[in-house]
Amino acid sequence: MSVDLDDPGLQAPPDSPNGHVELAPMRPGALRWNDVAIFLGAAVSSLSLVWLVYERLAPTSGALGFLICWVLTFLLVYWIVVREVDGPLVATDKLVAVGIGIVAVGLLVPLVSILVYIIYQGLHALTVGFFLRDMTGISPQQPASAGGAAHAIVGSLEQVGLALVISVPIGITAAVYMNEVRGRMTRAVRTFVNAMSGVPSIVAGLFIYAIWLLQFHHSFSGFAAALALSILMLPTVARTAEEVLRLVPDGLREASLALGSPEWRTTWSVVLPTARSGLVTAVILGMARAVGETAPLIMTSFGTQTMNWNPFSGAQQSLPLFVWQQYQLGGGAVGTPGFLRAFTGAFALIMVVLILFVIARLFGRSKFSSR
Amino acid sequence: MDVRTEREEPEIDLTDAAALAAPAGTPGEMIAEEVSAWFGSHKVLENLNLHMPAGRVTALIGPSGCGKSTFIRILNRMHELVVGAALAGSVLLDGADIYGPHHRPTDTRRRIGMVFQKPNPFPTMSVYDNVLSGLKLTRSRATDRDALVEQCLGRAGLWNEVKNRLRAAGGALSGGQQQRLCIARALAVQPEVLLMDEPCSALDPTSTRRIEETIEEIKQQVTIVIVTHNMQQAQRISEQCAFFNVNEGEPGRIVEIGPTAQIFENPKDQRTADYVHGRFG
Amino acid sequence: MDDAPGAALATSDAAGPRAISRNRTTADRVYRGVAAAGGMVTFVVLFLIGLFLVIRSVAALQVAGLKFFTTASWPPALTEHSQFGIAAIVYYTVEIALIALAIAVPVSIATALFIAEYAPRQIRKPLTSLVDLLAAVPSLIYGLWGFFYLQPKMVGISEWLNMHLGFIPIFQVTERLFTSSPFIAGVVVSLMVVPISTSVMREVFSQTPQGEKEAALALGGTRWGMVRKVVLPFGVGGMIGGSMLGLGRALGETIAVAIIISPLLTISPHILQSGGNSVAAWIALRFSESTGGLPLSALMAAGLTLFLLTLGVNVIASFIVSRSRSGSGIEI
């Protein structure tokens, strides 16, 4: 087949000086308008379909049921349409992708719902007095504006603080043993740490009650609660710390050892400072866990109405216990003073957890964030 | 029937021994005697003998995978840090076996320094603190720290480039600068020997040249043993070369040792000749 | 690294390896000792927990004997002649946990797959943070939200299930009271289990060997085909381990269940109907009334049962993950 060089189709376009045709870049794998249109079309059509039919089929389900019906119908419609356009193989593939995506993003729904509900109910009865007064002499029937949770806040701070002091050094030491010393028992210790992270919080509370209060004849105290909380914090701190230490490059250890440094100095002066931000994250995550634990407090710090500054003697209130006890006093009904106080406390609690979480995320955003 | 290949006898060229020997009494003389090494049950080095004279540069050359890095790590007791590693033979520093029962690894490593292939300054410390980190880690004292920092950075050829930013982070320098910082750091603890494991392989030609100048300047005070793949570099900087080789399925061995000029121009062993003329490797 | 190297290789041949004297400084020896002590604290604590729970349970177990595990009643005041046992309590604990798993396992697998394989790079991190945030929310908050907000909405679903799927025995009810049911508790607990399982599964999926994935695609498979044939089989260990880890969490869940459930001591299979229990919630609710020897000892015995149960589940989960092809690098 000969080529006709005078064919205008073969000539260079007038703008290119050296005769080369400029081609626009292609992106074969990117999302096409076509796909987006099918997706939206299926969504809208299934929505209208369910809207029309819903009342007839499901007489009692509310918004939740509607949502479920819509999603199922959407998936069906989408699958049918894609099957027509691209064939059954691609249809299954796209259906799975969309389905999985809906489930994953759907986790946003309960999370947002929880945050919004707690914040909304909690802000209702929030007063400045909440942070300044305790519940001395306040009976459950008095309105929610009476009294406050100052004693709970102080107790939480002290108990979590003590738990930190106990569990962080031990946790980091265990992580150092597992990752730096790498002794004979490393695998065993790792198993124990994993086993310990599965201990239910109520069991930790029972244990401290059995050993500290019954065996050693102490009374309820914030310190006992701190002991129980450190049992729950320790595995979190140890595991996260070990992950962080693992990320420190081996070359640094080698450099330090090659200079003649003993092992402990290498760990103390080189490895730990390099991993510092990650270790701080580990501590903050442990704190976030401890501050929200309720069950072990029932049998260790017991709770009280009055302010107790001394964590080493006498029952002490703390935020989660305050919420739990106020909920029980409120009798499970909406709008009672107990209900309102419980939600105000819950609001404070979730704010603390959120703040700690955000701080940990920001800290971990240095080069040692593994996930 | 003995199917082992014939034992390699390391050749030490005695006619040039006088040129090789350092002035008597200079510290930093190392001798490896009948050194063998294992990883687990896999033997990787066999019966190495090497005399590294004080005040001289000894280059270890040979194709990859023949155990040069393993050998050099035996010289400063880093080999034993690997789980399952084992060795035989002795390594003498100034006449005393560093693996002897009364020798601490930490002391040995202070006297025999090492520069690694990949620069590894301590990222959270400043340049100043990086240079002094060896002192801190070994609890040594320095009478004048500023002067020591300037001296070490000067010898490493880095002083002029960082003298105005001594407080900058060690990890913020370029690759070549980082490696020179590592050299300065190693020099700060006043070692007698400096081991260098392909220190320039990851660097640009300018940094390489600068480091070779450093080696030339410091070799009188510090014995240098350098592993290198770059034969022109070996010719430029070393007085003595040891050629390593390995046959498939066998541990690595030293095939020939001799003055650099002789190794490259008039090697005694055919395999050495093949390697230095680029026929393999 | 502790054993003298060369010991295993020593032969009669003089060319064998030599023993290396470690010659650690005193400071290093102290350092290693302290680190080992820190590691062993975990063992000591676990051992003490078991020990003290056993000591304190002895009284109750002497009274009830093995019937403790088969009796389903628990009178308010316990004497030496009472009949009490945790059969019903354990039954409901497991029932709620299974309901939670039935929801959480598919959701976890889907979410983990999405994050590891399907999500665009930019939303991978935010989605992971979102899942971690779900894990950080305290159980107490889940309980309050579940009881006051979710339950009124779930009642409608329970009624629908009862009406349209009532031929299945578990969806039948003997009386039309749909609040405080194991079903609702299970749904709330599943929200707490999802982040834990997702975390483990996601890590496992992201370690699928790149070569195998590319081979599947190069043969002409779709992404789902590649996931089905390569990622999921590779991640079986992680999926099982992650699910069992979630099971352990669900079994030990206390406050959320205590808020939602209405404690019941008779065993019934109707999950949509009011009435359920869990060992942890039972202990939490009964603690303040259980003063004195026997009632407290009975609670301790219940706690011991829960401890052994969750410990067993966790150890098995750990074992499965580490033995599987995907799990060798994973810590759960």
**What tens digit of pLDDT does each residue of C267-306 get?**
888 888 888 899 999 999 999 888 778 889 999 999 999 9
C2, C11, C20, C31, best to mutate vs chain B, most B CBs in 10 Å:
C20
Contact C252 A198 (CB under 8 A): yes
What is the reported pLDDT for B151? Answer: 93
Q: Is residue C206 part of a domain?
A: yes
What is the reported pLDDT for B162? Answer: 92
Contact B78 A257 (CB under 8 A): yes
pLDDT tens track for C67-90: 888 888 888 877 778 888 888 899
pLDDT bin (cut points 50, 70, 90) of residue C16 is confident
Contact B113 A262 (CB under 8 A): no
Q: Is the pLDDT of residue A309 over 60?
A: yes
**Which residue matches tokens 């140890």?**
A238
Q: Identity (one letter) of the amino acid at B214? A: T
Contact C25 B106 (CB under 8 A): yes
pLDDT average, residue stretch C175-199? 92
Q: Is residue C17 part of a domain?
A: no
pLDDT higher at A330 or B16: A330
Q: What are phi and psi of A27, to 5 degrees?
A: -125, 90
Contact A259 B138 (CB under 8 A): yes
C-alpha to C-alpha distance for B180 and B159, rounded to whole angstroms: 10
Lowest mean pLDDT among A157-166, A271-280, B78-87, C198-207: B78-87
CA of B104: which chain C residue's CA is closest? Answer: C23
What stretch(es) of chain A map to CATH 1.10.3720.10? 130-363
Domain ranges of chain B: 27-121+193-276
What is the reported pLDDT for C170? Answer: 85
Percentage of the residues of chain A whose pLDDT score is greater than 90 = 36
CATH number at residue C123: 1.10.3720.10
Q: Is the pLDDT of residue A159 over 70?
A: yes
What is the reported pLDDT for B11? Answer: 41
Contact C23 B86 (CB under 8 A): no
Burial A69-94 (b: 16+ CB within 10 A, else e): bbbebbbebbbebbbeeeeeeebbbb
Query: Could you tell me where the DSSP H helices lie in B121-194?
Result: 127-137, 145-155, 159-162, 175-188
Of B113, B124, B137, nearest to A274 by CB-CB distance is B124
Of C56, C128, C129, nearest to A210 by CB-CB distance is C56
C-alpha to C-alpha distance for A358 and B164, rounded to whole angstroms: 38
Taking CA atoms, A105 is separated from C107, C123, C132, C198, in Å, by 11, 10, 14, 13
What is the reported pLDDT for A363? Answer: 76
C-alpha to C-alpha distance for C304 and C56, rounded to whole angstroms: 9
- A260 close contact with B: CB closer than 8 A: yes
Longest dimension (CA), chain A: 106
Within 8 A of C23 by CB-CB distance, chain B residues are 101-105
CATH number belonging to domain B27-121+193-276: 3.40.50.300
What is the reported pLDDT for A187? Answer: 87
What is the reported pLDDT for A196? Answer: 92
Helix (H) / strand (E) element for B115: namely strand B112-115
Within 8 A of A288 by CB-CB distance, chain C residues are 136
Q: Identity (one letter) of the amino acid at C18? A: R
Of B38, B99, B100, nearest to C9 by CB-CB distance is B38
Highest mean pLDDT among A155-169, A274-288, B264-278, C207-221: A155-169
CA of B108: which chain C residue's CA is closest? Answer: C23
Q: Is the CATH number of domain A130-363 3.40.50.150? A: no
pLDDT average, residue stretch A277-292? 88
Mean per-residue pLDDT over chain A, rounded: 84
C-alpha to C-alpha distance for C260 and C100, rounded to whole angstroms: 14
CA of B135: which chain A residue's CA is closest? Answer: A259
pLDDT average, residue stretch A88-104? 88
pLDDT average, residue stretch A255-276? 91
Contact B182 A258 (CB under 8 A): no
Nearest to B112 by CA among B95, B98, B133: B98
What is the reported pLDDT for A21? Answer: 61
Nearest-Cα distance to chain C for B253, in Å, is 15
- B165 close contact with C: CB closer than 8 A: no
Within 8 A of B74 by CB-CB distance, chain C residues are none
pLDDT average, residue stretch A115-125? 88
What is the reported pLDDT for A167? Answer: 95
Q: Is residue C64 part of a domain?
A: no
Burial A102-131 (b: 16+ CB within 10 A, else e): ebbeebeebeeebbebbbebbeebbeeebe
Of B36, B99, B106, nearest to C20 by CB-CB distance is B99
- B138 close contact with C: CB closer than 8 A: no
Within 8 A of A206 by CB-CB distance, chain C residues are 53, 283, 299-300, 303
Contact B106 A276 (CB under 8 A): no
- 8-state DSSP, A303: -
pLDDT higher at C49 or B81: C49
Lowest mean pLDDT among A25-34, A113-122, B56-65, C44-53: A25-34
Q: Is the pLDDT of residue C64 over 90?
A: no
Helix (H, G, I), strand (E, B) or coil at B241: strand
Contact A258 B122 (CB under 8 A): no
Q: Is the pLDDT of residue C128 over 50?
A: yes
Q: Is the pLDDT of residue C21 over 60?
A: yes
Q: Do residues C274 and C61 lie in contact, with contact meaning Cβ atoms separated by under 8 Å?
A: no
C-alpha to C-alpha distance for A171 and A282, rounded to whole angstroms: 10
Q: Do residues A166 and A228 lie in contact, with contact meaning Cβ atoms separated by under 8 Å?
A: no
What is the reported pLDDT for B115? Answer: 92
Domain membership of residue C184 as a residue range: 87-329
What is the reported pLDDT for B2? Answer: 37
What is the reported pLDDT for B278? Answer: 84
pLDDT tens track for A39-89: 888 888 888 888 877 766 655 556 777 888 888 889 999 989 888 888 888
Contact A262 B106 (CB under 8 A): yes
Nearest-Cα distance to chain A for B60, in Å, is 20
Domain count, chain C: 1
pLDDT higher at C316 or A17: C316
Q: Do residues B239 and B20 lie in contact, with contact meaning Cβ atoms separated by under 8 Å?
A: yes
Q: Is the pLDDT of residue A1 over 70?
A: no
- A64 close contact with B: CB closer than 8 A: no
Q: At what angle do helices A150-176 and A222-247 cross, to 10 degrees?
A: 40
Nearest-Cα distance to chain B for C327, in Å, is 22
Q: What is the pTM of this model?
A: 0.80
B137, B178, B192, best to mutate vs chain A, most A CBs in 10 Å:
B137
R_g over Cα of chain A: 30
> Per residue of chain B (281 residues), what is the pLDDT tens digit?
333 333 333 444 434 444 455 555 578 899 999 999 999 888 999 999 999 999 999 999 999 888 999 999 999 888 888 878 888 999 999 999 998 888 888 888 889 999 998 888 888 789 999 899 888 888 778 888 899 999 999 999 899 999 899 998 887 889 899 999 999 999 998 999 999 999 999 898 888 999 999 999 998 889 999 999 988 999 999 999 999 999 888 999 999 999 999 999 999 999 999 998 888 76
Phi/psi-derived region of residue B139, left when phi > 0, alpha when psi is between -120 and 50, beta in every other case: left
